[in-house]
Homo-oligomer: A and B are copies of this chain.
Amino acid sequence: MKAIVIHGAKDLRVETTTSEPLGPGQIRLRLAAGGVCGSDLHYYNHGGFGTVRLREPMILGHEVSARVMELGDGVTGFCNGQLVAVSPSRPCGTCRYCQEGLPNHCLNMRFYGSAMPFPHIQGAFREELIVEAAQCVDATGLSAGEAAMAEPLAVTLHATLRAGSLMGKRVLVTGCGPIGVLSILCARRAGAAEIVATDLSEFTLGLARKCGADRVLNMATHPDALADYTVDKGHFDLLYECTGAAPALSAAIAALRPRGIVLQLGLGGDMSLPMMAITAKELDLRGSFRFHAEFATGVTLMQKGLIDVTPLIPHTLPLAEAEAAFRIAADRSQAMKAQIRFADA
């Protein structure tokens, strides 16, 4: 079978690898669709991010849907050909954080396609994948592309849960890449009364509006667009910070009201923050990282039509053109999200 393997910056290969044996409690899957994520792009463009560097070839990918091929001993509740969304979250279940109900902080996490540990954790972009049954969530009724969106949707659902209730709240979203736009979908679903989104690209802002933003602001053409929101110590209750860029965060902080919450989703390096404003307005800056139970929740919300991710996924390419998918995913002027089609899904 074939897999998408990164060997170094700009060195992406579709290679043949061997199938793995199927154990008890596991399921053999035939991959349907796989989305290219920001961290995949980092490995492709730079060979890593921050201090994390590729030290051996690694299969990429952790946003995948698949069809059931074969059930291991003891597995029930699935049938051949069934579409499933595959959670890349594989916590150990026994470390102190797992036992506290915080599996996303597992000390032994084996998240797909990560070069953080060595040997690296191989990813999910392969035609055949062996998974634990608990990773599979029934996705009947969804397209393969929608099911593959369960992973980034889970990231934004998890962040949304970190914010407490959004009912009737005023929400600002800085950065309208996939995570920003999914944040808009989540905020609207969670009852936000007002959603304003900022970005530097008209293309992504158009999509933000299509996905529910009440107003979109192009900070490239109107750098002071948030100024109206700074009177009386600020306007917004909640900020989804999806840029990882200090200037975006600083401008947004001025528009947050006292006791406002910042959800930090954009992964950057060190950032210079206006601590005087954070202290004096008693803001609450909360990191949000990955997800666990939210993966299944997101699939349910999509199945019930309560969240519609289809506007985000117009670009799908066959496995043979995997590298083109990576290039498209990196071009924010034309694409939000690129997916790779592994089989006739």
Contact = CB atoms under 8 A, between A and B. Distances in A.
Interface of A: 50, 93-94, 96-105, 107, 157, 160-168, 186, 188-191, 193-194, 214, 232-233, 244, 258-259, 264-265, 267-276, 278-289, 294, 297, 300-301, 304, 306
- Nearest 9 pairs of A and B residues by beta carbon: A101-B101, A168-B297, A279-B287, A105-B258, A285-B285, A190-B191, A282-B287, A100-B101, A278-B287
A94 B93 contact: yes
Given A258-B102, A276-B50, A281 B271 contact: no
A276 B267 contact: yes
A191 B192 CA distance: 10
B162 A164 contact: no
A39 to B, nearest CB: 12
A58 B272 CA distance: 33
A264 B262 CA distance: 15
A115 to B, nearest CB: 15
Contact of A160 (B167, B194, B287): B167
Contacts of A268: 275-276
B276 A96 contact: no
Given A157-B167, A264-B275, A265-B279, 20 more contacts: A93-B99, A99-B103, A100-B101, A105-B233, A105-B258, A160-B191, A162-B282, A165-B165, A166-B190, A167-B297, A188-B306, A191-B301, A194-B300, A267-B275, A267-B279, A269-B275, A270-B275, A280-B289, A281-B289, A283-B287
A270 B270 CA distance: 12
A258 B97 contact: yes
A105 to B, nearest CB: 4
Contacts of A270: 272-276
Nearest to A96: B232
